[in-house]
Chains A and B, each alone.
Chain A
Amino acid sequence: DVQMTQSPSSLSASVGDRVTITCRASQDISYHLAWFQQKPGKAPKSLIYSASSLQGGVPSRFSGSGSGTDFTLTINSLQPEDFATYYCQQYTTYPLTFGGGTKVEIK
């Protein structure tokens, strides 16, 4: 199985900050990487697919980069509605696997 390792597991940030979350795959997954946002009590929401493509309707302050084994999700100018847990997920091979999540909290 492809192991997905996210870091950090949690972070505290202020509104307006730039936030970076990293995701590392245990083997080459090319660009088959997605990012999801999950708020408490809600279903995950797709943010980014193919490592860097923004899902329709997602604000442009969200961006993704990387390929192979190392990936990054960046949130520019963090907004109050961005406080949530973020997950990366690989879809190059089965079983599909997720990172452990990064909880973004208010400082």
Chain B
Amino acid sequence: EVQVVESGGGLVQPGGSLRLSCAASGFTFSSYWMHWVRQAPGKGLVWVSRINNDGTDTRYADSVRGRFTISRDNAKNTLYLQMSSLRVEDTALYYCVRDAAPSRLDYWGQGDLVTVSS
């Protein structure tokens, strides 16, 4: 069974940093691109970032470029999102999502909540 499980979220002050992790199982992690998508409370879905299967190519939304870094460790079947210079508007549920074909999202984790507040 395909599973992706996020962790590392929590409360952080504006300007602070946090690293999210996503543990993958049930599929050959190293063969798949992966994404982060976020959802602010009561709002819609917003794509954040994507990494290719070997970690050599990354893409970012304009709103996070230069502040967030996506990475992966295929030996540990884990995806990461390093977030720095966090802003109140980064408060959201962050989903780890598998890419079934170039840029087609399929399996979603349950999400991890990041709250940026003083």
Binding site for B on A (CB under 8 A): 32, 34, 36, 38, 42-46, 49-50, 55, 87, 89, 91, 94-101
Given contacts A44-B95, A49-B100, contact A98 B108 (CB under 8 A): no
- Cα A42 to Cα B109 with chains together (Å): 9
Residues of chain B with a CB closer than 8 A to A89's CB? 45, 105
- Cα A8 to Cα B110 with chains together (Å): 27
Check A91–B59 contact: CB distance below 8 A. Answer: no
B27 to chain A, nearest CB (A): 14
Check A94–B44 contact: CB distance below 8 A. Answer: no
Check A91–B103 contact: CB distance below 8 A. Answer: yes
Check A46–B47 contact: CB distance below 8 A. Answer: no
Binding site for A on B (CB under 8 A): 35, 44-47, 50, 59, 61-62, 95, 100-111
Check A43–B44 contact: CB distance below 8 A. Answer: no
Known: A46-B106, A49-B101, A98-B46. 10 other contacts (CB 8 A): A32-B103, A34-B105, A42-B110, A55-B106, A87-B45, A95-B62, A96-B103, A98-B45, A100-B44, A101-B45
Q: Select one of B44, B110, B111 contacting A87, CB under 8 A.
A: B44
